[in-house]
Amino acid sequence: MQKDTQAVHAGHTVDKDTNSRTVPLYQTSAFTFDSPEHASTLFKLETPGNIYTRLMNPTTDVLEKRLSAMDGALCGVALASGQAAITLTLLNVTQAGQNIVSSPAIYGGTSNLYHHTIKRLGIDVHWADLSKPDEIEAAIDDNTRFIYCESIGNPKNEVPDFEMIAEIAHRHGIPFVVDNTCAPIGLVPIEHGADIVIYSLTKYIGGHGTSMGGIILDSGRFDWTGKKYGTPGKFPEFTQPDPSYHGMVFYDHFGGDSMKADDGTILNPAFAARIRTCLLRDMGPCIAPFNSWLFIQGVETLTLRWKKICDTSLQLAQWLEKNPNVSWVNYPGLPSSPSYANAKKYLNGYGGIIGFGIKGGIESGKKFLTNVQLMSHVTNIGDSHTLVAHPASTTHQQLSETELIACGVSSDFIRIAVGLEAPEDLISDLDQALRASV
Ligand SMILES: *Cc1c(COP(=O)(O)O)cnc(C)c1O
pLDDT band with cut points at 50, 70 and 90 for residue 99: very high
Mind listing the pLDDT tens digit for each residue in 255-309? 999 999 999 999 999 999 999 999 999 999 999 999 999 999 999 999 999 999 9
For residues 424 and 427, what is the distance between their CA atoms, to the nearest angstrom? 5
Pairing of strands 196-200, 214-218: antiparallel
Q: Is 182 in the pocket of ligand 1 (CB under 6 A)?
A: yes
- Average pLDDT of 185-207? 98
Q: Classify 326 as helix, strand or coil.
A: strand
- Would the pLDDT of 14 be above 70? yes
- Would the pLDDT of 406 be above 70? no
Instruction: Return all residues near 3 (Cβ < 8 A) that are at least 6 apart.
Output: 70, 185, 303
For residues 368 and 311, what is the distance between their CA atoms, to the nearest angstrom? 24
Atom of ligand 1 lying closest to residue 86 CA: 10
Instruction: Return all residues near 94 (Cβ < 8 A) that are at least 6 apart.
Output: 100, 118, 123, 145
Q: Is 157 in the pocket of ligand 1 (CB under 6 A)?
A: no
Q: Is 158 in the pocket of ligand 1 (CB under 6 A)?
A: no
- Average pLDDT of 114-137? 96
Least confident of 132-136, 167-171, 363-367: 363-367
DSSP annotation of 348 reads S
Judge if the upstream peptide bond of residue 133 is cis by omega within 30 degrees of 0. Answer: no
Distances (CA, A) of 406 to 15, 60, 89, 149, 156: 54, 40, 27, 18, 11
Atom of ligand 1 lying closest to residue 203 CA: 1
Q: Is 203 in the pocket of ligand 1 (CB under 6 A)?
A: yes
Q: Is 202 in the pocket of ligand 1 (CB under 6 A)?
A: yes
Over the Cα atoms of the chain, what is R_g? Answer: 22
- Would the pLDDT of 369 be above 90? yes
Pocket probe mutation, ligand 1, options 88, 202, 215, 216, max atoms within 8 Å of Cβ? 202
Mind listing the pLDDT tens digit for each residue in 42-66? 999 999 999 999 999 999 999 999 9
For residue 347, the CA-to-ligand 1 centroid distance in Å is 20
- Average pLDDT of 188-205? 98
Instruction: Return all residues near 366 (Cβ < 8 A) that are at least 6 apart.
Output: 390, 393
For residue 213, the CA-to-ligand 1 centroid distance in Å is 9
Q: 187 near 151, Cβ under 8 Å?
A: yes
Pairing of strands 144-150, 99-102: parallel
Distances (CA, A) of 63 to 25, 50, 59: 11, 15, 7
Degrees, nearest 5: CA angle 91-93-99: 85
Atom of ligand 1 lying closest to residue 201 CA: 7
Alpha helices in 149-248 (DSSP H): 162-171, 236-239
For residue 181, the CA-to-ligand 1 centroid distance in Å is 7
Atom of ligand 1 lying closest to residue 150 CA: 13
- Would the pLDDT of 394 be above 90? no
Nearest-CA residue for atom 4 of ligand 1: 82
For residue 60, the CA-to-ligand 1 centroid distance in Å is 19
Q: Is 211 in the pocket of ligand 1 (CB under 6 A)?
A: no
- The mean predicted confidence, pLDDT, of the chain is 96
